[in-house]
Amino acid sequence: MSTPTPARTPVLEAVDVARTFGSTRALDGVSVRVEPGRSIGIVGESGSGKSTLLRQLLALDSPTAGEVRFRGQRLDRRDRGLLRRLRADVQPVFQDPRSSLDPRMRIGAVVAEPLRSLKVPGDHRARVVEVLASVGLDPEVASRYPAQFSGGQRQRIAIARALAPSPSVLVADEPVSALDVSVRGQVVDLLHGLAATQGLTLVLVSHDIAIVGRLCERTVVLHHGRVVEEGPTASVLADPQDAYTRRLLAAVPQLPVG
């Protein structure tokens, strides 16, 4: 008789998380598990609670009730040591690369910024060259400024910056919504390839369920601050159980192949 494989500790976990702002309940008893080495999509329209949940998972805000855990430990924003480990291990990629990249800094300094702030040992210049190459950019771009690049190239730079400290988790917040349709597929393919080749855990937050379908093994659907559906992405897309999920699928055009 085979021994059951023990469940792995989630790298991130929201447990019955609620977040209120005055009389507004942005999250209402949300539980989400981010398994190591897997990919999960958190999908919903504006106002569904996606951004609020993301802030909880990144310890940028604290829940009103419930708790968020990082590798089994309850996240407390007063615990500087644990927050430091979280920042090194979980890196975000934000929606708009135009606003997330400091226009006054050269690309090399932008990409090296988390290495400096986290005091990562080693040759920072060599690491910048390595991660720029990993996102398909010539290392010579390190001497240039963000304004000299297209939106798709700037998002590649933002992804390189997130990869610089060698995190195990990449949290992508609407990573292609600010880009031209013609380059969205390329960035999605890049994220897919990086997750596969580097063994990254991927958390994708998006209003576009088609993009989640391209990138994520599991999908969580949020509506009015509650989880209305969760399961393997293929099942959610093929046989959605909730009427809200069916509306999302009907409303979102398919992502063109890059």
Classify residue 181: in a domain, yes or no.
yes
pLDDT for 13-32, tens place per residue? Answer: 999 999 999 999 999 999 99
Residue 247 sits in which domain range? 12-251
pLDDT for 233-254, tens place per residue? Answer: 999 999 999 999 999 988 766 5
pLDDT for 191-234, tens place per residue? Answer: 999 999 999 999 999 988 888 999 999 999 999 999 999 999 99
DSSP per-residue string spanning 134-159: HTT--GGGGGS-GGGS-HHHHHHHHH
CA–CA gap between residue 223 and residue 208 (Å, rounded): 14
Classify residue 256: in a domain, yes or no.
no
Classify residue 50: in a domain, yes or no.
yes
Structure tokens at 42: 């958190």
Classify residue 2: in a domain, yes or no.
no
